[in-house]
Each structure stands twice: as C-alpha cells, then as structure tokens.
Amino acid sequence: MCKQTKTAVLTCLMALLLPSITEAAQLCKAASIRATSPTNQYTDHKNGTVTSNRTGLMWKKCSEGQSWSVANGRCSGTAAKYSWQTALNRATAVNSKGGFAGKTDWRLPNIKDLASIVEEQCINPAINLAVFPATPSGWFWSSSPGDNVGAANAWYLDFSTGNDNWDYKILFEGRVRLVRSGL
C-alpha cells in the first residue's frame, strides 16, 4: 500500500505505471524515415518462413521458443533465451530433429544477416512485425564471435533499437532467430 506523502505517492504511481511504459507498443516513424525492411521485400512461404528478396536468406518467422501456427499465421509462446554456445547449438538441435519447414540446414545468423532485417522506421522492436510477428524487443545472438573485441565476446543485435554490440558469451543470454541460405 502507498503511503500518503507526496513523494511516496509519486513513487507508487511510477511503480504501477512503469511496466506498462516498458511494454509499450512498437513505435514507427513512417513519415520521416524510409522503410528499410518493407513487407514487399519478403516472400512469405506460408509455412512459418520468409525469404528476403534482397539477400536471398530464408528466415524463420518466429523466434526460437515460439511456435508457428499455420491456421492463424501467427507466432505463439515466449521467445527463449540462450547462452551464446547454446544459441549455436540450437540450430543443430532443430536440424537433427527433422528441421523446420522441410529444411535441415538452419543456422544462427551472423551479425550482417541480422542487420539485414532491421526496420529502421521502428523501435521496440526494430523489425517488421508483419513479416516477423511477435518478435520481442531485446537482444538476439549472432554467430559472429567478437574477434576484434576479445575471444570471450560475441556480437548481438538489439531489436529494441536496431543497434548491434557485443557481450560476454558465457554471462549473457539472448534470443535466437534461425536463418538458412536461399531456397
């Protein structure tokens, strides 16, 4: 229960409102920034995958931990978090269990692959939600080790903002979106 002092009431209100502020809907500035990842740039295979017409890469529409529903064309569930090594192993696990959408050559994308799906018009998340539904804002691992930032590090892309950075492989847990090369 909130105390009745002015400071205590403000603190209490902030505590109540902060979760709704941090879970705010995606914000896009279509009028002032040109789309970098428009829907028409992708071919939707209607099986939980899309192919970028620009790069030729095929992506899973859902983050790992989520499930694709052919019936309603949506991702459901919560995107799982993985250590870097576990993220690398995730593709192997998917492929060894029969793959996804008939393909068994899924991999963890490198940092350039991930950057190719950033939608610069938007934040929270900085991705086209029509193409990649239910993508959470947050960090997604790449397969790119941090060669120039130290062997203990690897690169990630923060889909809250669309920026990349690096972090410690063993300390940090990030999300995963799998990719494969072409059709």
Which of 13-17, 60-64, 82-86, 142-146 is the least confident region? 13-17
Sheet harboring 153-158: ordered strands across? Answer: 139-145, 153-158, 163-168
CATH of domain 26-181: 3.10.100
- List the one residue out of 149, 165, 146 whose CA is nearest residue 157: 165
Please count the CA atoms within 13 angstroms of the CA of 24 that sit on its side-chain side: 11
CA-wise closest residue to 135 among 156, 118, 110, 154: 118
Q: Which helix (H) or strand (E) holds 88?
A: helix 84-96
- Rounded Cα gap, residues 89 and 107, in angstroms: 9
* Whether 62 contacts 140, CB under 8 Å: no
Residue 140, CA distances (Å) to 63, 100, 137, 175 in order: 9, 20, 9, 4
Give this prediction's pTM: 0.83
Inform me whether the pLDDT recorded for 36 exceeds 50.
yes
pLDDT band at 163 (very low <50, low <70, confident <90, very high): very high
The pLDDT-based confidence of 17 (bands split at 50, 70, 90) is very low
The pLDDT of 76-100, averaged and rounded, is 96
Contact yes or no for 156/69 (Cβ under 8 A)? no
Place of tokens 């428009």: 38
* pLDDT beyond 60 at 78: yes
Three-state secondary-structure class, residue 167: strand
Per-residue pLDDT tens digits for 102-140 = 999 999 999 999 999 999 999 999 999 999 999 999 999
- According to the model, what pLDDT value does residue 5 have? 36
Domain residue spans of the chain:
26-181
Judge whether residue 21 has pLDDT over 90.
no
Distance between the two ends of the chain, CA-based, in angstroms?
Answer: 58
Side chain identity at 131, as an amino acid letter?
Answer: V
pLDDT of 99 reads 97
Q: For the chain, what percent of residues have pLDDT higher than 90?
A: 70
